[in-house]
Chains A and B, each alone.
Chain A
Amino acid sequence: MAAGTMRSAKRDTWGLVLTVVSGIMMITGLYLAFVFAPPAVNLQTAVERFTQRIMYFHVGAAWVGFFAFFITFAAGIGYLWRRTFFWDNLANSSVEIGLTFMTMVLVTGSMWAKPTWNTWWTWSPRLTISAIGWLMYIGYLMLRSAIDNPPRRARFAAVYGIVAFMSVPINFMAIRWWRDIHPAVVASGANEGTGGFNMSPNMTTALMFCIAAFTVFYFTLLYHRMRLGQTEHEVETLRQEILYR
C-alpha cells in the first residue's frame, strides 16, 4: 500500500510548468491592467479612474472564488460516488483557495467602492452574495475542523459543499430582486449601475486576459495544495502503519 501511494515523491514537472506559466501570465496581467488598458472615459475624478483598474483583478478573483466553489460542489459529488481521498483533497483545497480569492474580492471591492460609491460597503446583490459565499466557505472549514474521523469529515464536507453550492443561484436571485445597484460590467446593460462605464476593446482584452491569468493561477495553487494534501495523507498513513504494526 505504501509504495503505491508515493506519488508526491516523484519529480514535479507539472508543478514547475504551471508555476512558471501562471507567473508570466500574472505579470502580463499587471502590465495590461495598469499600462495597456486605457483609463475609463466617463468617470469624473482621477481617483475614480485609477481605482477602476482594480476591476481587472477584482473580476478575476470573483470568477475564481465562485468557480472554486463549483469545483468543491463537483468534488463533493465525486467523493460520495467514489469515496477516495483524491476527491476530498480536491474539495478541501478548492475551498481554501476560493476563500482566499473571495477575501480578495471583498477587500478590492471595498477599496473601489469608497471613492466610487463613497462607501466601503453596500448591500447590493453581488456584494451580499460574495459575503454569503465567503461565510459559507468559513462554515465549510469550521465544519471540517470540528470532525476528527477522516471519512466522516470528508462525507459531511461533501454534503455541505453540495447543499451550499446549490443555494448560491437561489441566493443570488433573491438578493437581486431585493436590491441592485452594482454595475454589470461584462453584461450588455453595462452603464446602468452607479460607477458603471462602457468598455473599450483594449479594456475588454485586459479583463479577459486577467480572468484567464487568475484561472491558471487558481489551477496552479490547486495543484500545489493538493500535492501538499496528498503528502500529508501519505505521512499520516505511514505514521499509522508504524504505530499499529
Chain B
Amino acid sequence: MRIPLQISQNCVVASIQVDLDTSVIHQFRADLLQLLESSNATAVILDVSGVVVMDLLEFEAIKETIDMARLMGARSILAGLQPGVVSSLVELDADLDGLEAALNLDDAFQRVADYRATSAGVDQRKQGT
C-alpha cells in the first residue's frame, strides 16, 4: 500500500488515509525523500485528517519521517489532526515538541506561504546590506 504524494505550490502533499504499519511507512519514506530530492519542494504537508486512531509507534514513525525531511531541507506541517487523535497522543505522553500543525490543508498552505514571505524578506535584507 502506497501513500499518494503530489506536489502543489512547491509543497509535497501526502494524504495519509491508511494504517501506518512498517511496510507502509518504509515505502512512504522512500517515496517522500526521493520526491524531495528530485523536486525543489521546500515543505511537506502531511494531511492526516483521515486518521482517526494513531498509536505511539505510528506517531513516532511520522516524527522520524519529519526529521528525515528536515535533514533534506524541507519543513513539515501536520494538517487536520483529529481531536480524538490529539487527546490520545497527549494522554499517552507523546513528545510533541518541534511539531508544526495546521487546522486543515488551506491553513497549512497559508503557513507555508507566510513562512516563505518572511524568509524571503530576510534574504532580501541580507542582500541589501
Question: Do they bind each other?
Answer: no
* Chain A residues with a Cβ under 8 A of chain B: none
